[in-house]
Amino acid sequence: MGEAIGQTLPLAAAVAISPFGIVAAVLMLTSGRGSGNGLAFLIGWFAGLMVVGGLLILLGRGADASSGGQPAEWTGYAKILLGLLLLVVAHRQRTKKADDGEPKSPKWLNRISTLNPPGAFSLGVGLGAVNPKNLVLTMGAAAAITGTGSPTDEQVLSLLAYALIGSLGAAVPLGIYYFMGDRAEGMLERLKERMARNNGVIMAVICVLIAAKLIGDGISTLSLF
């Protein structure tokens, strides 16, 4: 289990520091429904990672992702492909601009103030597990977990660790909201502005670094060199 957690830790960290997840959580907390929406968003983010990750692990187990306790050869090609997909995502993040040359904000940001808790939960699922960057990262995590060939209970615990770590970014604004008292509003506003302003750069750097890891792991699995 330690091997699987070690391999998925960088991927989980990349999910955790997703700027849009943090910005969305802040906007939830500063909307009219406050902590209710913020908590629903966090639960949705975590649940999405668990469900999608669990489905991918089941697919990997069905496809014999491990052979003799070692990753099967096809998982190496899968990791290289996922790394290349992340490089594409990184390029798109750096080139996504609005008409005025400023970074383009997604339309869902403007609808957050109208959401109720079920809507916040659904948005958490979408941003946490279904958006392209996080989905690729979860695919990489599932490949790493199934490739170890560990027992089912250990794979479930490894996925749980991945989802918990991957949810920390969305949890930070909630912690600030509950524990920082009168200072919370100012801190959340500054956090939102910094993450939104630097979203493209942060995402591009994360994607390039994780892409390098996945491609390197894939090459290692295939023993190409």
Q: Per-residue pLDDT tens for 184-199?
A: 778 888 887 777 676 6
**What is the DSSP-derived secondary structure letter of residue 106?**
P
Length of the chain: 225
Count: domains in the chain: 1
CB-based contact 104:98 (threshold 8 Å): yes
Answer whether 0.75 is exceeded by the pTM: yes
Q: Is the pLDDT of residue 99 over 50?
A: no
Structural domain boundaries enclosing 108: 2-222
Amino acid in the structure at residue 176: I
Q: Is the pLDDT of residue 96 over 80?
A: no
pLDDT top residue among 100 and 9:
9
CB-based contact 112:30 (threshold 8 Å): no
Burial of 65 (0-12, 13-18, 19+ CB in 10 A): buried
**What is the DSSP-derived secondary structure letter of residue 61?**
H
pLDDT top residue among 175 and 95:
175
Contacts of 48 (CB under 8 A, 6+ apart): 124, 125, 126, 128, 129, 130
Task: Please list the residues that pair with 97 across neighbouring strands.
Answer: 103
Burial of 25 (0-12, 13-18, 19+ CB in 10 A): buried
Q: Is the pLDDT of residue 69 over 80?
A: no
CB-based contact 10:165 (threshold 8 Å): no
Task: Please list the residues that pair with 103 across neighbouring strands.
Answer: 97
Give, to the nearest 10 degrees, the angle between helix 2-16 and helix 199-222. Answer: 160
